[in-house]
Structure 1
Amino acid sequence: MVAQKKTADHTVVNGINVVDLFALIDGVRREPAKGKTNWHVTTTWQGQARSRAQVESFEIGGERVSRRFSIDIDEPNELGGSNSFANPQEHLIAALNACMTVGYVAQCAVRGITLESLAIETGGEIDLRGFLGIDPAVPPGYENLSYTVRIKGSGTKEQFAEIHEAVMATSPNFYNMSRPVALKPALVVE
């Protein structure tokens, strides 16, 4: 069980420093510009169906913060890949689950609820006739995703239901996946 830890200068619940979290919330409430973030990823082809996504930095409140991460992506053998890494759909679902996980952990932390366990299982169906261009009437992506949240901790069923609603209302990736996001494509041929 992850417990609350109190020290002289901060309280940590579920690994989240709630004093820092409340300070962030208060700072953004007072100065909305501090809450503006900008995310950027560059993906390059690595041969066959493999690609590598590079993260160099992000911006928060107009300040650039360096972050260096590499995410390797592939396809299963059956879809032309070498099955070396998770595919784009698995990364998409993992990103949704991870974003919601942060939401549940933080929502519990600010309420003083300690978590014992949290798991999110998500799945959906893609008909390859759309992706392969065989039938233009078939969507090339998910028409719906289903997910189940399994959560256990010191909260009541009512508190967890409230947290569940709060996560759906505030999770960036829940928002991104549940509504159309305008894409602004540009093509540069070199």
Structure 2
Amino acid sequence: MSANTGMKVVDNGVNVEALLGAREALTDMPAAAQFKWRATCEWIKGVHSRSTIESFFGLGEEKSHVRPFTVEMDHPAEFAAPDDGATPVEIMLTSLAGCLTAGVASVAQNRGIQLRSVKASLEGDMNLFGILGIDPDIRNGFSAIRVNFDIDADATKEEIAAVVAQSQKRSAVFDIITNPTNVHVTVA
């Protein structure tokens, strides 16, 4: 307990004050809230590619990460590939897991809940008849995704469920997956 506020002091590694300050500042400057996230991808060989994430636009100006990040993508031997990286759909699942988990940490910190461990396990169902063109009535993407959290925290089950629900409500990746997004593909 903090002597000044009477609130339990927790440290999940999230600077909630900075996040709330950013929310307040962006409310007063809506143009600064317009971000453009970027990635580039280069074909290596076969179905192997390497994506690089380096720069983005936000707060009204060009920004760069502290260093470039790369993601290797490939397919397993079952797809006649060397398995030199995770498949793009597996990386999408990790993006959903990462976004929801970050939200859990942030919401728990804001609500004064100390986390001891958080593990998200994801599983997505996909019928390859769609991607392979065997049946045009079967979608190419997931027909269902299941996310299961195993969270150890100093909170009740109801409080943990509320933290997960708020994380889901504010997750950009959850929104991207569950709502249609306009995607425009061009060739240079």
Provide TM-score, normalisation by structure 1: 0.88
Query: Counterpart of 1:23 in structure 2: which amino acid?
Result: G
Identity %: 29
In the other structure, the counterpart of 1:19 is 17
Q: Deviations over 1:12-46 (max 9, x none)?
A: 72111222222112212222223222101111100
CA-CA distance at 1:129 after TM superposition: 1.2
Matched positions, count = 179
Q: Deviations over 1:130-156 (max 9, x none)?
A: 111111112111111111111111222
Cα distance in 2 for partners of 1:128, 1:174 equals 23
SS of residue paired to 2:129: helix
In the other structure, the counterpart of 1:66 is 64
Cα distance in 1 for partners of 2:159, 2:70 equals 37
Query: Counterpart of 2:33 in structure 1: which amino acid?
Result: G
SS of residue paired to 1:13: coil
CA RMSD of aligned residues (A): 1.7
Ranges in structure 2 where 5+ consecutive residues have no aligned partner: 3-8
In the other structure, the counterpart of 1:175 is 175
Q: Deviations over 1:106-150 (max 9, x none)?
A: 001111211011111111121111111111112111111111111
In the other structure, the counterpart of 1:138 is 138
In the other structure, the counterpart of 1:8 is none
Residues 10 and 112 in structure 2, CA contact (< 8 A), matched pair in contact too: no
In the other structure, the counterpart of 1:44 is 42
Query: Counterpart of 1:139 in structure 2: which amino acid?
Result: R
Residues 56 and 66 in structure 1, CA contact (< 8 A), matched pair in contact too: yes
SS of residue paired to 2:134: coil
SS of residue paired to 1:101: helix
Ranges in structure 1 where 5+ consecutive residues have no aligned partner: 5-10
SS of residue paired to 2:32: helix
Cα distance in 2 for partners of 1:137, 1:29 equals 44
- Runs of 4+ deviating beyond 6 Å: none
In the other structure, the counterpart of 2:76 is 76
Cα distance in 1 for partners of 2:45, 2:10 equals 44
